[in-house]
Structure 1
Amino acid sequence: MSTLTTVAGVGIAALGYQTTSEIDARLGPVGEMDDWLRSDVRKWVAGLALVAFVLGVEGRSLASVGVRPPVAFPVVSEFVPTFGLGGVTGDAVTALAWSATGFVGLFVVTTAVYNVYERLDLNTPEGFVSEQASRGVAGYTVTALSAGVVESLAYQGYVVPRVAGLSGSVTFAAVVSWLAFTLVHGIGDTFDAEQTFYIGVPAAVLTALFVACDSVIVVCLVHFAVNLVSFLSE
C-alpha cells in the first residue's frame, strides 16, 4: 500500500464528517429532516465511506482498523481463572473486562477535569449535552451510538495503525490520532476553545485504550456508553 493511499485514508478518517457536512450543506442530498438526525446521517455516510476505502481501495480487511477481539486482559490472565473459556465466549469476557476498565477510567478522568473546569469557571460542553438530552431517549441514543462507532472507527481504528505504519511509532500515531480527534471538534461554532480542550481529555483516554487493547470494538463500546450516560444524567 502506497504512502499516498495511506495519507488519503487518514484524510478521509479525520475530515470525512466535515466533508460530508459541506457537501450536504451545498447540495442537500440528505433532504429535509431534523438537524440532529441530519448530523447522525452525515456521520454514518462518512463512516461507510471510510469502510469502502479500506475494503475497496486499500484491499484490506476491517481487522486492519481494529475490528477484532482485544488482546488478553492482563488482570484476568494473572488473577482471575478463565475456567477454560475460549473462542467467542472468551473474546466476549475479555472485551467486557477491557470495556469496564475503560469506562471507569474515562468516567474518573472526565469527572476530575469537569471539577477543575468548574473551579476555574471554564466552559464545558454541558450546553451541548443538555441540548442532546432534550431530544429524548431515542434521539440521544442514536447520537451516542453514531459518535461512538463512527468517531472511534475513524480516529482510533484507522488513524492509529496507519500512521504507526508510516512513522514506525505507535506513540507518535496515538498523538496524531488524539490531536485530530480533538481539533476537529473545534471546527465550526459548536464548541469554543475551552470546550474543545475539554473534549481532548476523554479523547486521550480513548486513544490510550485502543493502543492498550488493540480493538476498536472495545473503544466503540466505551465511547457509546460514556456518551449515553452523559445524556442520561441531564
Structure 2
Amino acid sequence: MATGAEQIAVEPGAEVGAIVERLRLLVSGLPPQDGVAVFGGAYLTVTEAVREHLDAGGYFHDPADVAELDVLFADRFLDALAADRAPACWRPLLELRLHPGVLPLQYALAGMNAHIEHDLPLAVVDACTALGCSPEELAADFHRVNDVLADVEEQVRDRLMPPPEQLDVAEPLLHLVSSWSIDRARDAAWASAVTLWELRDRPAAYGVAADALDDAAGLVSRCLLTPLASLRV
C-alpha cells in the first residue's frame, strides 16, 4: 500500500484526470453514433465521478491505490482500441460499432460488460503487483467504487433508453438490459480477480483462466449487441 508521502507525490486526482482527458479526446474524435463513442462517453462519466471523489478526499481509504487501479483499468480499454487484434471481449463492440440495428444503450452495456468482466480482474492483479499488496487490501475501495458505478449506470440507462413511443424497439431492449446487472458483474469481477491472484505464480493455469474470462465476456457482449432495430434512436 502507498505511504502518506507517496500519496502526496502521486496526486491521485491528477493521474485520473489524465485518463479523463484521453477519454474526452477519444469521444470527441468519433461520430456520436459510433458504439465506441457511446461506451466511451459512459466510461468518461464514471471516470470523472471517480476523479471528483479523489479530489474531494474522504471517500476512498487509499486514494493513491484507487488511482493506480483506475489508470491500469482504463489502459486496458485504450490498449484494446489500438491493438492489431483486440481481446475477444472487445471484438463484438468493435465489429458492430456502426451497425444500424444496434442501439446506443446496447453499446454502453456491452462495453461495461467487457471492461468489468474481463479488464477489471486483470487490472486488479496488475495493481496489486505494482503496489505490492493483496486484493483483500484493495477490497474496501473496490466496493466503494460500486456506488459510483451504480449511480452512473442509472444515468446512462435513463439517457439512452428509447422513448415510450418506440415500444417495438424498447420491449426487446428491456429484455436484454434486464438480463445484465452491473452489481453482479462487479461481484463476478472481484471473484475472478481473487482467483487470478491465487494463480499468479502458475503461468499456464493463469493463462487458461484469463483466456476463458476473455471468451466468456465476449460471448455476453455479443448477445447484448443483438441487432434490434433498422433505425437508430
TM-score (norm 2): 0.39
